[in-house]
Chain A
Amino acid sequence: MGNEIAPVREASPSRHPGWQELAFSLRRLFKNPLTIIGLTIILFFVFLAVAAPWIAPPPRPHDPYLMPHSGWDMTPSPPSVKNPLGTLPSQYDILYGVIWGTRNAFRIGLAIVLANLLVGLVLGAVAGYFGGLVDEIIMRVADIFYAIPLLVIAMALVIALGRGLQSVVLALIILQWPTYTRVIRSEILVLRNMDYILAARASGSSHLRILFRHVLPNSMFSAIIVASMNVGVTILIVAALSFLGLGSDTGYADWGAMVATCRNFIVGPPGNRLAYWYLVFIPGFTIALFVLGWNLLGDAVRDVFDPRMRRR
């Protein structure tokens, strides 16, 4: 009997339990229709962002994020052949803004999330792996960051750094690291006492080598899941700051700033109260759809990979 089982194991090295788990998770992930919807939405936006120079050729190639506009008329124009989705006040083309705004959202969202991830990995690894006083200091500082509502402190920080998209990005990098640090730290606390780490230490590996070769690669996965779940929230905060007028200048292809321009056009002229619906609806809907895509994906990923949820 024993002789029959052993060769089967050797024949399929991919049957490692870790891979089995991953395959199981991925199968469950793609069985969920919400994942498919979320992924489709994200892929659609990826396409818009990548193809932006071709589907909406910028009139000024060195400054593609500035929306082209025809004239200074403050009254927005409804959808037409020339402006398929209508225009903002000052005749900025909404379609152009939506397309280049997608590229802008990816640029900003990725910059913030990747920077957060990097800071979170470094601090989380240091706190989790070494523990003791370093851990205590890092986590208590994180507590303080958690104590202040994000939007409000972000507003103050953006003001202090000087209004603009760069400040928004920098502010969110400075303020959001605790979320990532916490997750990565708790992951590393578990890994730290695993047998293979002890074995590596016993065989004389240095702390740095253990950290980079064994601990970090193994905690990477959950870090990336946290990051994917945070893209939506991050974009919402960026849009809110832009909407409040703390982000980009007018004319910049930024969704939040585009929504802000509609505030004086909520109510149309008598007889046609919904005259400016395109202005109120389209830029905001784009943000909502983008965030929805990430949240659907993040939600499904969490349901599948969270050990407490997965076998239900």
Chain B
Amino acid sequence: MSLLNYIIRRLLFMVLVMFGVSILVFGVLMLIPPGMRVAAYVTNEKVPPTAIDAMIVKYGLRDPAPIQYFRWIGKIFRGDLGYSTTANGPVVEGFAQFFPVTLELVLYATPAIILVGLWLGTMAAMKRDKPADHAIRVFAIIGYSLPTFWLGLLLLMVFYGFLGIFPPGVLSEKLLDVVTGKGWIRATGMLTVDAIINWRWDIFLDALYHLALPVINLVILESALIMRLTRSSMLDALGQDYIRTALAKGASQSTIYRIHARRNALLPVITVAGILFAGLMAGAVITETIFVRKGIGWWTARAALQLDVSAIMFNVLFLGVIFVVVNLIVDLIYAAIDPRIRLA
């Protein structure tokens, strides 16, 4: 089967999965009683129950589920995502404000995690069954046993509390005025990128300084998976015939590990890197809450606590879509670079 055929089939399947995801999210929405869905928008406690009832009827919150579903999905396609009480504005605006913050964190964290994971994984494979290997494996198991929120709090206590460095937030107090004031070009919403566009290196460095601790947090927690995968696929590659050939022709140990084995061991890592990227977007809920970075994760957590239904539902739907799309891209890259894959 040709690559094009495969892509078309995967795209069709993706549409189906997204339809399913939207039904699942809508099903969750339907579990919320209509009164509660309205109540989030009523700030005045003295509103009589009849008025709330009138609102329920007006917005058709008691209509049959299929009708409500098509009304809901139709609105989403028209870009009308509703009003978010936690963002103090339409969901679209909240999203435009919060999304770049999350994207920035994930864009810095993903390469850092992959590099650390690859490095540790290669080392563990080279020193197989030696103390270094055991130490790295134990580090990995501890890494994925730690609660995200606890490690974040510990890092904050030690670095920010005790040593007085790496404060929470996205930027220092005095620089925040600059980026919200006039004359600041908000091109991407990502501070480090905008800082370069505005040619403000002080802001660039300050933003990096605030990114350091959350990124370290994520590296400790997430590099375990990449490390284990690199280790096992390196060991797999080292058992192949071409490695013996390379040894026989006199290649040095380090050439064999770094060039022959690792190149081939990289393939499965690509898959996980994609999943990692999507997972970090979703995992931002905890990291952003701890480090007070106002991105979509922070927003979702706040929306959940304050029953801001439109914001929660859109964010869940959005993260689901990211997941599906990233998985598709990963599969396509994989199919394109690995000639052994037959696209069955």
User: Which residues does A use to contact B, with CB under 8 Å?
Assistant: 34, 140-141, 143-145, 147-149, 151-153, 155-161, 232, 236, 239-240, 243-246, 256, 259-260, 262-263, 266-268, 273-274, 277, 280-281, 284-285, 287-288, 291-292, 295-296, 299
Contacts and interface: CB of A to CB of B under 8 A. Distances in A.
Contact of B316 (A145, A156, A296): A156
A285 B145 CA distance: 10
A310 to B, nearest CB: 14
A299 B320 contact: no
B147 A143 contact: no
Contacts of A280: 153-154, 157
Contacts of A245: 305
Given A147-B17, A244-B305, A239 B147 contact: yes
A291 B307 CA distance: 30
A277 B282 CA distance: 29
B304 A246 contact: yes
B319 A149 contact: yes
B154 to A, nearest CB: 6
21 contacts: A155-B301, A156-B25, A156-B312, A160-B31, A236-B145, A240-B147, A243-B147, A243-B149, A243-B286, A245-B305, A246-B305, A256-B147, A260-B149, A266-B153, A267-B161, A277-B157, A284-B154, A291-B145, A291-B146, A295-B144, A295-B145
Contacts of B24: 144-145, 148, 153
A287 B157 contact: no
B77 interface: no
B153 A263 contact: yes
B285 interface: yes
A69 B214 CA distance: 34
B283 interface: yes
B166 to A, nearest CB: 12
Contact of B28 (A140, A141, A157): A157
Contacts of A149: 278-279, 281-283, 319-320, 323
Contacts of A299: 141
B147 A159 contact: no
A239 B149 CA distance: 9
Given A153-B316, A284-B149, 7 more contacts: A34-B138, A145-B24, A153-B320, A155-B301, A243-B149, A243-B286, A266-B153
Nearest to A141: B20
B237 interface: no
Given A155-B312, A156-B316, A240 B157 contact: no
Nearest to B279: A149
A236 B157 contact: no
Contacts of B320: 147-149, 153
Task: Decide if the interface of chain B is mainly helix, strand, loop or mixed.
Answer: helix
Contact of A156 (B278, B286, B313, B327): B313
B234 interface: no
Nearest to A149: B282
Interface in B137-168: 138, 141-142, 144-150, 153-154, 156-157, 160-162, 164
Contact of B304 (A159, A243, A273): A159
A167 B281 CA distance: 24
B315 interface: yes
B141 to A, nearest CB: 6
A256 B320 CA distance: 26
Contacts of B315: 152
B145 A292 contact: yes
B161 A268 contact: yes
A274 B285 contact: no
Nearest to B141: A295
B29 interface: yes
Contacts of A158: 304
Nearest to B290: A263
Nearest to A233: B144
A156 B301 CA distance: 10
Contact of B147 (A267, A273, A284): A284
Nearest to B239: A312
Interface string B95-118: 000000000000000000000000
Interface in B64-122: none
B17 A144 contact: yes
B141 A151 contact: no
Nearest to A243: B149
Contacts of A155: 285, 300-301, 304, 312, 316
Nearest to B16: A140
Contacts of B305: 244-246
Contacts of A262: 153
Contacts of A243: 147, 149, 286
A159 B319 CA distance: 17
B32 interface: yes
Nearest to A275: B161
B323 A240 contact: no
B102 to A, nearest CB: 12
A144 B18 CA distance: 8
Interface string B240-276: 0000000000000000000000000000000000000
B324 interface: yes
A143 B14 CA distance: 11
B192 interface: no
Contacts of B29: 160
Contact of A143 (B17, B23, B146): B17
